[in-house]
């Protein structure tokens, strides 16, 4: 078993890269990036891109388990903190309906929250990661407490914030979902898992979006696969005892970071991301996937995440289904004021209300927002480009906010859209006509004989040929 559960898989375990799905030729750079990822990383992945409300790329490939079973069109993957974007969207929907307001105090809806100095914390503080309640390591004695929602609610109620609301920005890596989720449950009277289905999955006709998955869909879940064990110690100690030792040496680590200009409390990172026993907590276990951990255990397909963010990229509506009003999207994605100091992470995430800025290999698009997750998954929207991108994976490490794989996929999507817009501007002086583009034999996506170029979207066979 590896970190967060799952099996150990090394590169080269499968000599043939399988890839399937559909794409528009304008988005070949994204397909190239995905194929490169599948060739150089173990496991499998799926990517979906929406532009102007239409699916322009929906690809998947690789393997979904240690046996080498091919990734299917409906395979879902545990997606860690990518789940926070779904939780945030649900809360924005309730604000849009007038059930709650951002600057209301949490205790107005959750009376038990008004303990231990938390009376002044607002919903905005929670969404901007400024409530000072990220220290799950001090709240619970073992990681499997996260499977018990009432226990987590009581633990948060008893906890004292580590700082005054708004004094610091500290990533609430594991507590965020319980904070947002309990507010939602209080104002709607429905469980978080039910809200995901009722408010997002069913209206948008999503084929895979669960936080607290029913048993019937669990066979579709990809197995979490991890690199060779030596890499696991980069982020989470392999034993609780080692975690305790790291905690004791946090002051020395902090001094070392100061020497390179990073003013961060290392102890806060452990508090937020490393509850005791986390190294033996299996995020891919059926018991865990059936529970609701809205910060960390969403089970998604890439196309489901992409459709949700496509609605946000389109002013809150997709194919006649409205999640949010246009004004609500603007309010939810407005950059929040930066706190005087940082905690947990040594860099500014440029928080919106529950979403962070999007880091890509082509820079940080100003209007983009979303959420990435540990292990490499992520999903986001850019209303200025009418673009939505999502990726799920079942292998890799990276950081709490994805890794270079999601950054490369995101960069390729930006490149594809910007080139598309440039071509369309260049043609604007001419008579409108159907766009044609040759489909190059890049990434093994060869155009079959007799098929005209530019016939979007096409299908990619398991061998990589467009059919």
Q: Which residues are catalytic?
A: 81
Cα→Cα distances 318→311, 312, 417, Å: 5, 8, 19
Tokens representing 446 are 């060869």
Q: Cα–Cα–Cα angle for 316, 128, 384, nearest 5°?
A: 35
DSSP string, 332-373: HTSPPPPPSEEESSSS-----SS-B---BTTB--TT-EEEE-
The Cα 199–Cα 229 span in angstroms is: 40
- 3-state SS of 413-442? HHHHHHHHHHHHHHCCCCCCCCCCCCCCCH
167 to each of 120, 123, 161, 171, 347, how far by Cα in Å?
12, 15, 11, 13, 16
- Alpha-carbon separation of residue 301 from 55, 170, 193 (angstroms): 14, 29, 16
Q: Distance (Å, rounded) from C-alpha 72 to C-alpha 94?
A: 34
How far is it, in rounded angstroms, from Cα 20 to Cα 10? 23
**Among residues 72, 85, 56, which one has the least CA distance to residue 353?**
85
Q: Compute the distance between CA of residue 138 and CA of residue 428 in angstroms, rounded to an integer.
A: 60
Could you tell me where the beta strands, DSSP code E, fall in 86-201?
168-170
Distance (Å, rounded) from C-alpha 459 to C-alpha 84?
A: 32
Cα→Cα distances 263→250, 255, 399, 421, Å: 13, 9, 19, 41
Residue 207 corresponds to which tokens in the numbers above?
A: 């084929």
Neighbours of 345 (CB within 10 A): 21
How far is the C-alpha of 89 from the C-alpha of 355, rounded, in Å?
9
Query: 60-97: b or e for each residue (b if 16 or more CB lie within 10 Å)?
Result: bbbbbbbeeebbeeebbbbbbbbbbbbbbbbbbbbbbe
């Amino acid at each position: 078993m590896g970190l967060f559960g799952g099996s150990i898989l090394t590169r080269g375990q499968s000599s043939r890269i399988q890839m399937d799905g559909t794409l528009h030729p304008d988005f070949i750079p994204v397909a190239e990036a995905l194929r490169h990822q599948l060739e150089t990383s173990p496991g499998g992945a799926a990517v979906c891109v929406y532009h102007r409300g239409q699916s322009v790329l929906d690809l998947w490939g690789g393997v979904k388990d240690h046996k080498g079973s091919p990734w299917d069109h409906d395979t879902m993957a545990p997606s860690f903190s990518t789940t926070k974007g779904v939780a945030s969207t649900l809360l924005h929907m309730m604000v849009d309906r007038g059930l709650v307001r951002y600057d209301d105090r949490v205790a107005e809806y959750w009376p038990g929250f008004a303990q231990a100095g938390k009376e002044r914390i607002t919903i905005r503080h929670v969404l901007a990661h400024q409530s000072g309640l990220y220290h799950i390591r001090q709240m619970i004695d073992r990681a499997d407490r996260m499977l018990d929602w009432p226990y987590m609610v009581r633990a948060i109620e008893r906890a004292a914030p580590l700082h005054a609301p708004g004094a610091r920005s500290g990533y609430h890596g594991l507590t965020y979902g319980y904070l947002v989720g309990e507010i939602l449950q209080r104002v709607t009277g429905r469980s978080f898992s039910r809200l995901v289905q009722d408010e997002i999955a069913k209206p948008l006709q999503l084929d895979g979006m669960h936080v607290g998955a029913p048993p019937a869909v669990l066979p579709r879940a990809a197995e979490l696969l991890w690199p060779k064990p030596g890499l696991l110690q980069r982020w989470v100690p392999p034993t609780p005892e080692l975690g305790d030792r790291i905690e004791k040496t946090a002051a020395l680590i902090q001094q070392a970071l100061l020497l390179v200009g990073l003013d961060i409390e290392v102890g806060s990172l452990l508090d937020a991301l490393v509850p005791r026993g986390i190294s033996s907590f299996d995020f891919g276990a059926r018991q865990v996937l059936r529970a609701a951990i809205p910060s960390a255990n969403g089970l998604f397909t890439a196309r489901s995440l992409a459709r949700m963010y496509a609605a946000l990229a389109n002013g809150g509506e997709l194919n006649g289904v409205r999640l949010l009003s246009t004004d609500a999207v603007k309010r939810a994605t407005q950059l929040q004021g930066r706190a005087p100091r940082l905690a947990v992470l040594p860099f500014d995430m440029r928080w919106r209300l529950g979403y962070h800025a999007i880091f890509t290999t082509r820079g940080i698009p100003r209007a983009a927002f979303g959420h990435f997750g540990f292990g490499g998954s992520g999903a986001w929207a850019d209303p200025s480009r009418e673009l939505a991108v999502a990726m799920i994976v079942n292998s890799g490490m990276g950081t709490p906010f994805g890794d270079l794989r999601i950054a490369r996929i995101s960069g390729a999507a930006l490149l594809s859209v910007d080139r598309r817009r440039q071509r369309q501007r260049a043609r604007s002086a001419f008579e409108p006509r159907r766009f044609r583009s040759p489909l190059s034999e890049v990434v093994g996506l060869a155009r079959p004989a007799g098929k005209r170029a530019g016939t979007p979207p096409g299908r990619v066979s398991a061998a990589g040929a467009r059919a």
